[in-house]
């Protein structure tokens, strides 16, 4: 009887463990005719504070120091128009001192701001951390443009915003799985796919966030930019930036 009990408990633990582990959803293959929007040599086609943004070893690099600080959060903006439905692919790395972000479907704000490169809207968070929830990949409402929702959808969440609240319907990745997935102090690959009010974030070829924004303030078009956060000295780099506008 004791042996049977041990076997039963072992099976139960294995079952529980398998439930806790999320089903990995892989990224779709890269579509044909994606457009490279950074030439790897200079910042042609991008507009940011030249004191803070440069090109280093084939990557867009934003950096602040104790002697060269950002006057509020500042951004480097892709100048080639707005995005509606799109697929964006790139690689990034940063240090752990501060955080950064990828702005998309966002707005360039020019009035009552601390610098001339202020962007607000959806942000794919960028951090050199691997412990949920403060990691790269969640959606942040930069500047409160979508209703002041802050961390709108977290890594691991499949969720929908409706009736003024978020409903989480599934778990896409666990804390333990993300720790293994994310590469600290190294390059990580990001895919962002937006179709209508449906947003998906992939990290290193795995789906980590799936969000349907049913809010009346959902953003359906806007600009693309990269963030350099004010505060503690930091650096962030982006490379292999390519995009495809979807019909």
| Of the candidates 73, 68, 63, 62, the residue with the CA atom closest to the CA atom of residue 115 | 73
How many residues does this entry show for the chain? 247
Does the pLDDT at position 7 exceed 60?
no
State the DSSP code for 38. -
CATH of domain 27-245: 2.60.120.560
Q: What's the whole-model pTM score?
A: 0.91
Banded model confidence at residue 40, pLDDT cuts 50, 70, 90 = very high
Residue 123, beta-bridge partner list: 103, 140
pLDDT tens sequence across 164-212 = 999 999 999 999 999 999 999 999 999 999 999 999 999 999 999 999 9
Banded model confidence at residue 9, pLDDT cuts 50, 70, 90 = very low
| Of the candidates 158, 155, 157, 156, the residue with the CA atom closest to the CA atom of residue 136 | 155
- What burial class does residue 33 get, using C-beta atoms within 10 Å of its C-beta: 0-12 exposed, 13-18 middle, 19+ buried? exposed
Helix (H, G, I), strand (E, B) or coil at 186: coil
Q: Which residues of 70-85 are buried (b: 16+ CB within 10 A; e: fewer)?
A: beebbbbbbeeeebeb
Q: What does the domain layout of the chain look like in residue ranges?
A: 27-245
Q: Would you state the structure tokens that stand for residue 117, as one six-digit string? A: 């490169």
pLDDT tens sequence across 112-137 = 999 999 999 999 999 999 999 999 99
| Of the candidates 59, 53, 63, the residue with the CA atom closest to the CA atom of residue 41 | 59
């Amino acid at each position: 009887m004791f042996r049977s009990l041990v076997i039963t408990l072992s099976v139960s633990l294995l079952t529980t463990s398998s439930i806790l582990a999320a089903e990995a959803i892989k990224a779709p293959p890269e579509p044909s005719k994606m457009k490279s929007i950074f030439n790897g040599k200079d910042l042609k086609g991008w507009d940011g504070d030249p004191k803070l943004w440069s090109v280093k070893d084939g990557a867009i690099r934003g950096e602040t120091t104790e002697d060269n600080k950002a006057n509020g959060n500042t951004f480097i903006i892709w100048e080639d128009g707005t995005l509606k439905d799109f697929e964006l692919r790139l690689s990034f790395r940063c240090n752990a001192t501060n955080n950064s972000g990828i702005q998309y479907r966002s707005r360039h704000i020019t009035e009552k701001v601390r610098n001339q490169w202020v962007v607000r809207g959806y942000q794919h968070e960028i951090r050199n951390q691997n412990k949920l929830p403060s990691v790269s990949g969640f959606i942040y409402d930069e500047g409160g443009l979508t209703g002041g929702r802050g961390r709108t959808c977290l890594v691991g969440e499949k969720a929908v915003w409706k009736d003024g609240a978020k409903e989480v319907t599934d778990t896409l990745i666990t804390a333990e799985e993300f720790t293994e997935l994310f590469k600290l102090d190294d390059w990580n690959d990001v895919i962002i796919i937006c179709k209508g009010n449906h947003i998906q974030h992939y990290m290193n070829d795995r789906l980590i966030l799936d969000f349907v924004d049913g809010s009346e303030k959902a953003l359906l078009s806007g600009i693309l930019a990269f963030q350099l956060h004010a505060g503690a000295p930091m650096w962030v780099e982006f490379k292999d930036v390519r995009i495809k506008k979807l019909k």
